[in-house]
Amino acid sequence: MDANKRQRYEKISIELTRLVGGRENIQGVAHCATRLRIVLNDNDLADLKAIENVDLAKGVFVAGDQVQIIFGAGLVNDVYEVFAEYNNMKNMSLSDLKTVANKKMNPLQRIIKALSDVFVDIMPGILAAALLTGLSGVLGNLEFVQANDTLYGINRLINIASGAIFGFLPLAVAYSACKRFGGRPILGIVIGCVMLSDSLANAYQAAQGTVEVTTLHIFGLGVDLVGFQGGIIVALLMGFVTAKLDIVFEKKVPEVIRLLLSPLLTTLVGSLLLFTIIGPVGRGLSSGITNALVWMTQNLGVFGYAIFSALQQLVVITGLHHIFGAIEAQLLADTGRNFLNPLMSVAIIAQGGAVLGYLVRHRKDVKTRELCIPSFISVLFGITEPALFGINLRYRFPIIGGCIGGALGGMVVYFTNLAAVGFGTTVLPGIALTDPAGNGYINYIIAHGVAIAGGFLMTLVLGKFMDKTQEEVPAVETKIETTEKEIQEETIKVPEKEVFFGYADGQMIAMEDVKDDTFANKVLGDGIAIIPNSGKVYAPIDGTIISIFDTKHAICFASKYGTEILIHIGVDTVNLQGKYFTTYVKDGDVVKKGQLLIEFDKEQVEKEGYDTVIPMIFTDLPEEKRLEKLTPNSVTAETNTVLVHSHIGN
């Protein structure tokens, strides 16, 4: 990571730590593909509205008792690295964070989260199978493919590959579920093999009555020797049961025979439970889910479709949407068609239409463009979190417009009998999964066009009555000092001019003259810098210490009027890890102008090869304010040399 980026991420880390309630409120931190995930002791201490405006953040929400901040793929890795280092939590893994977060979840949340984790692990295989199925369907309808031996052969191989993955999906689910619930994954694979054993009658053939089914009698129970092809719910249950059996037997079986006896008992007991209890229960549950969904389409008609596609993205907000993967897999196994996929797809693109509607209303705002455009691009590939949490839910009326657009798209899905032959991908990539029967591809495009247009237009209409983003900002609320030990909150008006005094002895230079691109280009903000004569840094104004880096080379400080500055000692001195630095204040301390904050051994730092220039940066300076330097080049901390932070035109 280059110095410019690191400095920017350090600023983000300082601000985020303050906005989530300080280091003492952070239990753990990790990241996934797009989000920084933070578990807090008290979520109420986090200022979610302010976090939305943090540099590079595309949105924030709370899910599963995690504060999740969307930064985007790639970027989140770098932000996490600096944020975790700043908060001394760099060695925490995502699984560690899940453990911490799970302690705060209710039973229903834990179940939903577990289902999500199971399908996350095997989703690449599911996507591969789904896309191969769609590709095979497209190629199979082309005459020149059928007429060419080579193309026909390739298409046959594609069809075999996709069918094989779906055919062994219960095995993959059992493996992933066993792993997720703490068992040895290989035992999940073994149980999956039992479920699909050639010694059992094929489940599809048995349902059609084309194969003879053998029935055993165990403890007076009739056990049909039928396989579990398509038994996704059964596989989930068996993965859980196998994991728990493995854990129990690993604890109870004596160590001298554990290696031989423990897996034997897990497989034997698991197999008995599969055929006598888990299998029948799971089949009944699967049948109930499928029948309920089919009943909805047959009895509620267009209203059922419209309601589902209108509300589906609200389910995403709760995190309950992860269960749809299991339902879709079961629906495909039972009926061969998945009507939920296009319904979810039009619900997604409708929220993208709402983003475009909001963008049109605020097209002159640079921040809005930076947020809306990448969010919409994510929607095109089926990822709605940046759009939902960064824009639509944040401003309320776009989410309503998106839901209405989703309902309109759902109605088109109903009238065109649109369905998919797989699951796991939506919107642009999802067209490859479309059932081509009945002009499926054309209908897919029409449904999505109606949904995005509906979301766009309804957001524009609702925005005329509900858009409150241009409301006037209230007076600044901050803390002022009464005594050194007593602080009271008051609403105070920021003065026309705010004076910052010299903070070190030495020669003052312009920020552009600092020999570092990050500072010289004002990536972190505007300010001044001092080439120090000694290694002491003082408070430039009365205020409060927001945070001091663990490496002691930088301090974030706020004046009593809320103006934030960053005093950074040296260039790249973070690499010294605090060596040669001594702090005299701590986070939260209220300090007076001229009070000693940090002392460092200037000569030793320079011997290590580091520039000791000390920039003072105004990290959050509003556009209507400017910096005015009213000092000679040579300054001291005692001579009341000043830097003026003033309003323009006031």
Which residues carry out catalysis?
32, 568
Among residues 51, 39, 17, 12, which one has the least CA distance to residue 389? Answer: 51
Location of structure tokens 């350090």: 10
Q: Is 104 exposed, middle or buried (0-12, 13-18, 19+ CB in 10 A)?
A: middle
CB 85 within 8 A of CB 77: no
Cβ contacts of residue 637 below 8 Å, gap of 6+?
A: 501, 502, 503, 504, 505, 536, 538, 594
Q: How far apart are CA 389 and CA 198, in angstroms?
A: 48
Ramachandran quadrant class, 301 (left: phi over 0; alpha: psi -120 to 50; beta: rest): left
Ramachandran quadrant class, 631 (left: phi over 0; alpha: psi -120 to 50; beta: rest): beta
Q: How far apart are CA 448 and CA 648, in angstroms?
A: 49
Q: Is 163 exposed, middle or buried (0-12, 13-18, 19+ CB in 10 A)?
A: middle
What is the helix, strand, coil percentage profile of the chain, to 5? 55, 15, 30
Location of structure tokens 């008995």: 272
Q: How far apart are CA 284 and CA 144, in angstroms?
A: 45
**For the range 119-124, what are the long-range contacts, defined as Cβ-Cβ under 8 Å and sequence gap of 24 or more?**
119/173, 119/176, 119/322, 119/325, 119/326, 121/176, 121/179, 121/180, 122/172, 122/173, 122/175, 122/176, 123/325, 123/424
CB 350 within 8 A of CB 376: no
Q: How far is CA 351 from the centre of its chain?
A: 17
User: Helices 169-180 & 149-167, crossing angle to 10 degrees?
Assistant: 40
Q: How far apart are CA 113 and CA 105, in angstroms?
A: 9
User: Which helix (H) or strand (E) segment is 557 a member of?
Assistant: strand 554-559
CB 11 within 8 A of CB 620: no
Q: How far apart are CA 184 and CA 267, in angstroms?
A: 12
Q: How far apart are CA 344 and CA 325, in angstroms?
A: 11
Ramachandran quadrant class, 581 (left: phi over 0; alpha: psi -120 to 50; beta: rest): beta
Six-digit token string for 593: 């102008």
User: Which helix (H) or strand (E) segment is 305 a member of?
Assistant: helix 301-318
Query: Measured between alpha carbons, how far apart are the two ends of the chain, in Å?
Result: 42
Six-digit token string for 125: 């295989």
- In the chain, the amino acid numbered 434 is T
Q: How far apart are CA 428 and CA 431, in angstroms?
A: 6
Query: How far apart, in Å, are the Cα atoms of 610 and each of 64, 160, 573, 581, 613?
Result: 44, 62, 7, 13, 9
